Chain A
Amino acid sequence: MADVAMAHSGLTPPQVGFMQDAANSFRPVYGIAGNFLPGGVVTGNVVSSAYSGSYGLVKTSSALLVTDRTGSIVASFPQPDGPALFAFTQTGEPALAFLPAANALLAWDGAAFNPAPFDPTTLAASAVLSIGQPHWGHAAMIVQRADGLWGVQLQLSTGAIDAQAAIPGITGPILMLTNDELVYSDVNGIVLRSSDRTDLHIKAQLPASFALQQMGDGWIQLRDLGSSRQFAIRTTRNREQYYQLPEGGQ
C-alpha cells in the first residue's frame, strides 16, 4: 500500500535547454514550446555544444567543458580548436565526445574525459556525422562512406567494430539520440526515425545548410549555417513540432 500527501512545491521559470546562438555563445533557453526566451550567455567561443536536460557538453576553441543544468562549468579539459560530436547516456549524463580534427574518441568516467581506443581507419569512412552510446561499454557512430551512411557500433574497451549496418536513403545532417532515434531531413522537413524504423515527418521549411545538436530533453536545435536564424525541433512523442528560436537579445 502507498499513501500520498503533498509536502511542498516550488515554482521556477521553465527551461527548454541550452542553445548555441548565432554568435556562438552557449545560453539557456527558457520557456515552453512556442514561447522561448534566450537567457544570458554562459560561455562564448563555442564551436559545438549539446545539452541533455541535465548536463551540457561544450567544445570551445580551446577546451571541452561539462556544465550542469544551471550552465555552471563542472569540468574543463584543454583541447585544440575544432568541432566536436557529443553523446549522453540515457539518463542524460555525459558519455562520449568525438573530436574529428584529432580523430579522438573520449569517454566520460564520471569525473573526466579519457581517450578511448579508436582507429579511424577501421571506419572506412570520410566523416563521422553523429555519435551515441546505445549501451554501456559501446559507442555508436553514424559515418559517411562512399556508398552512403552507415551505423557502426564500437567496443569502447578495444575500439573494435562489433556491428555495422547501412542506413539507406538518408543523407546528412543526421543526429543520433540516446533512445536510438535518428533525426534527419527530407524535402518536406524533419524526419524522426524511431528505433523500430517507423518515420514521423515534421513539416518544415529548412535552411539550405544546417547542423543538428541536442539542446534539451526532447529538444533538438537546428542551426542555420547561412544566417543568424535558429530553430528548435521538439521530439517529445505526440508533441513533435518545428519552431523558430528568437534571435532577439542575442
Chain B
Amino acid sequence: MIRRLLLCCALVPLGALAQIQVFLFDGTNETPAGVLVNVGSAAPGDTLTTRFHVRNVGEGPEVLQTLSIAGSGFTISLTPLLPYTIAPGSFAEFRVAFNPISIATYSAFLLVNTINITIQGTATPSAGLAVGGSSTLLAAGAVIDFGSVLIGSSNLQTFKLANLNNANIAIVTLLVSGLGFTGPIGAAAPIQLSPGQSVSFQIAFQPQTGQAAQGTLTVNQRSFVLTGQGLAPPLPTASIQLGSNVGTSAQQNNISIPLATASQVSGSGTLTMTFQPSVAGVTDDAAVQFLSGPTRSATVTISPGETAATFGTQSSIAFQTGSTAGTIVFTFTLPNTPPQQLSLIIPPAPIVLDTAGAVRRASNLDVSVTGLDNTYSASQLAFTFYDSTGATIAPGVISVDATAAFHQYFFTSNQTGGQFALLATFPVAGDVTLIAAFDVQISNSVGATKSQTISF
C-alpha cells in the first residue's frame, strides 16, 4: 500500500492533481468532468461542440501546458495559447468538436496537463436537409438566408428532407420559430421516411419590421438558423407646395408637403428655410421665418396612410416673407432621400405704405407713416396738404430728399429689415386746424408710391 502511494506521487505532481480540475460547461453551469465524457450524438456531417473549463481551484497560479486529443471524429476547436497561466479561482476554456463522417460510435483520449479523459460520441442516422433544388446537404447550425424582403411582402423557400440512410427515419420534430418566419408549409411532423424517401416543405419570411430577423428551423435534434432582412417600403415621393407662388414682402404664406401616394410607413424629416437678400450689403432679414416653432426649421412627420406630411398636428405651416427683396429657399430633407428645394422669389418692389396719419399740435403738424421698402433705397418724400375743401395748402408739394436718412436707418444697427416708421414734423404758419388732409409719396429704386388722401 505504501509502495503504491509512492508510485502515484512519482507519476503525477501532487500540486497538479490538487489544483487543476476539468469541468463541462453548458454556457451557464459547470459540472465536473469524469474520466469518461459522452458528448452525445450527431448526424454525419454535423458538428457537435462541447465546452470545457480548466479551473484552478488551488491558491497559487497554475500553468495549462498540455491540451491534446487523439481519436477519429474529435478535434479541439478552441484553445488558449499554451502555455497558459491560470490565476487561482480562474479558468481557461477549450472546446471539443465532434464531427462524425459516418454512422458509428466514436471515442478519443483527451489530455489536459496530466488529466486523462475519454471522450465518446455517437453518429446517428438523420434526414438530410437541402434548400431548393440544391443537392448539398446542410450541416446542423447552418445559416439559411432569406435575403432582404419589403414589409408586406414574402419570400418563400423550399426545403427537402431526404433519408439517405439504410434504415427508416422518424421526423418527430419539425418546427419553425422566430418573428417573421412561418412554416413548415406543406409538411408536418411526425413524418416517416423510408430509405431513399424525401419530403418537401416551405418556410415563408414575411418581415414585420425594417430590421434584421432571425429564426430557427428544428428537425428532431438538429437546428438550422434562419435569417432575413426586413426592409421598410420607401416613403412616397413628396413635393413642396406653397399656398401662393407669388412672392411679395410682408406676406403670410403657408407651405405644405403632399405625398404622391399614401405612405405605407412612418417617417420624419426637416423643412428648413434660408433667405438670400438681393439687396447689396444686407445679409439676412430676421422676419423671414416660420410662424410656429423654431424660426427657420420645422419638423415634418409622415404617417402611414396619410397623403400629406404634417407639421405637428397641422397639414401646413405658415411663414412670413419679411421686408427685404431676395430669395427664400425651402429645403425638405428626409433620411436616405435626396433633399428637395423650392425657391420663392421676393422681387424688389415700390414702397408699401401700411399706415399714415397726422396729429395737429399748437403750431405743428406731426405726420406719421409706416411701411416697408424692400430695396432699402427710399429717397424722395413728397407731402401735400389740403384744406377741408380739398384745396392744396401753400406751398404745395413739399419735397424732401431723405436718401441719406433712410440709408443710415436701413444700414446702421437695423434689425427690422426694410420696415420703417417715419415721423415728420411740419411747422405751420397760421391756423393749423385749417389743414384737413394730406397725402404722401415716397420713391425708391423701383418707383414711387403715393398714399390715398388721408383726412384727420
Q: A interface vs B, CB < 8 Å?
A: 1-15, 30-37, 228-229, 236, 243-249
Q: Which of A1, A6, A14, A247 contacts B400 (CB 8 A)?
A: A6
Assuming the A-B contacts A4-B395, A9-B402, A247-B292, are A32 and B250 also in contact, with contact meaning beta carbons closer than 8 angstroms in the complex? Answer: yes
* Pairs of residues from A and B, 4 with the lowest C-beta to C-beta distance, nearest first: A248-B295, A2-B430, A14-B421, A34-B250
> Would you list which residues of chain B between 419 and 446 have a CB under 8 Å from chain A?
419-432, 434-435
Interface 1/0s, chain B 310-327, versus A by CB < 8 A?
Answer: 000000001011110000
User: Closest CB-CB distance, A218 to chain B, in whole Å?
Assistant: 8
User: Closest CB-CB distance, B417 to chain A, in whole Å?
Assistant: 7
A249 touches B424 (CB 8 A): no
B114 proximal to A (CB < 8 A): no
A35 touches B431 (CB 8 A): no
B295 touches A249 (CB 8 A): yes
A12 touches B287 (CB 8 A): no
User: Closest CB-CB distance, A234 to chain B, in whole Å?
Assistant: 10
Assuming the A-B contacts A11-B421, A13-B416, are A33 and B291 also in contact, with contact meaning beta carbons closer than 8 angstroms in the complex? Answer: no
A32 touches B322 (CB 8 A): no
Assuming the A-B contacts A3-B429, A5-B426, are A13 and B434 also in contact, with contact meaning beta carbons closer than 8 angstroms in the complex? Answer: no
4 other A-B residue contacts (CB within 8 Å) besides A1-B430, A13-B420, A248-B291: A2-B432, A32-B355, A32-B371, A35-B322
> Would you list which residues of chain B between 277 and 320 have a CB under 8 Å from chain A?
286-287, 289-296, 318, 320
In the assembled complex, which residues on chain B have CB atoms less than 8 Å from the CB atom of A34?
250-252, 320
| Separation of A243 and B372 alpha carbons in the complex (Å) | 18
In the assembled complex, which residues on chain A have CB atoms less than 8 Å from the CB atom of B251?
34
Assuming the A-B contacts A4-B393, A6-B424, A7-B425, are A13 and B419 also in contact, with contact meaning beta carbons closer than 8 angstroms in the complex? Answer: yes
Assuming the A-B contacts A6-B398, A31-B287, are A248 and B294 also in contact, with contact meaning beta carbons closer than 8 angstroms in the complex? Answer: yes
User: Closest CB-CB distance, B362 to chain A, in whole Å?
Assistant: 13
Q: Which of A4, A12, A13, A33 contacts B428 (CB 8 A)?
A: A4
Select from chain B the residue with minimum beta-carbon distance to A33. Answer: B354
User: Closest CB-CB distance, A47 to chain B, in whole Å?
Assistant: 24
B403 proximal to A (CB < 8 A): no
| Separation of A101 and B53 alpha carbons in the complex (Å) | 79
What are 11 A-B contacts defined by CB distance under 8 Å? A6-B383, A8-B424, A8-B425, A9-B402, A10-B422, A11-B405, A13-B421, A14-B416, A32-B355, A35-B417, A36-B320
Interface centre among A9, A228, A229 (most CB of B within 10 A): A9
In the assembled complex, which residues on chain B have CB atoms less than 8 Å from the CB atom of A246?
287, 289-291, 295, 320
User: Closest CB-CB distance, A54 to chain B, in whole Å?
Assistant: 12
User: Closest CB-CB distance, B24 to chain A, in whole Å?
Assistant: 65
In the assembled complex, which residues on chain B have CB atoms less than 8 Å from the CB atom of A14?
354, 370-371, 416, 419-421
Assuming the A-B contacts A2-B393, A14-B370, A243-B252, are A32 and B398 also in contact, with contact meaning beta carbons closer than 8 angstroms in the complex? Answer: no
In the assembled complex, which residues on chain A have CB atoms less than 8 Å from the CB atom of B295?
246, 248-249
A31 touches B419 (CB 8 A): yes
In the assembled complex, which residues on chain A have CB atoms less than 8 Å from the CB atom of B370?
14, 32
User: Closest CB-CB distance, B320 to chain A, in whole Å?
Assistant: 6
| Separation of A248 and B293 alpha carbons in the complex (Å) | 6
Interface centre among A4, A12, A228, A245 (most CB of B within 10 A): A4
| Separation of A249 and B289 alpha carbons in the complex (Å) | 10
In the assembled complex, which residues on chain A have CB atoms less than 8 Å from the CB atom of B225?
none
Q: Which of A3, A7, A36, A243 contacts B287 (CB 8 A)?
A: A36
Interface centre among A6, A7, A12 (most CB of B within 10 A): A6
Q: Which of A4, A7, A32 contacts B372 (CB 8 A)?
A: A32
In the assembled complex, which residues on chain B have CB atoms less than 8 Å from the CB atom of A9?
381, 400, 402, 405, 422-425
In the assembled complex, which residues on chain A have CB atoms less than 8 Å from the CB atom of B430?
1-3
In the assembled complex, which residues on chain B have CB atoms less than 8 Å from the CB atom of A10?
422-423
B406 proximal to A (CB < 8 A): yes
Select from chain A the residue with minimum beta-carbon distance to B248. Answer: A34
User: Closest CB-CB distance, B256 to chain A, in whole Å?
Assistant: 14
Interface 1/0s, chain B 389-401, versus A by CB < 8 A?
Answer: 0000111001010
Interface 1/0s, chain B 354-392, versus A by CB < 8 A?
Answer: 110000000011000011100000000101010100000
B424 touches A12 (CB 8 A): no
User: Closest CB-CB distance, B428 to chain A, in whole Å?
Assistant: 5
B372 touches A35 (CB 8 A): yes
B290 touches A12 (CB 8 A): no
| Separation of A7 and B427 alpha carbons in the complex (Å) | 6
B409 proximal to A (CB < 8 A): yes
B415 proximal to A (CB < 8 A): yes
> Would you list which residues of chain B between 84 and 116 have a CB under 8 Å from chain A?
none
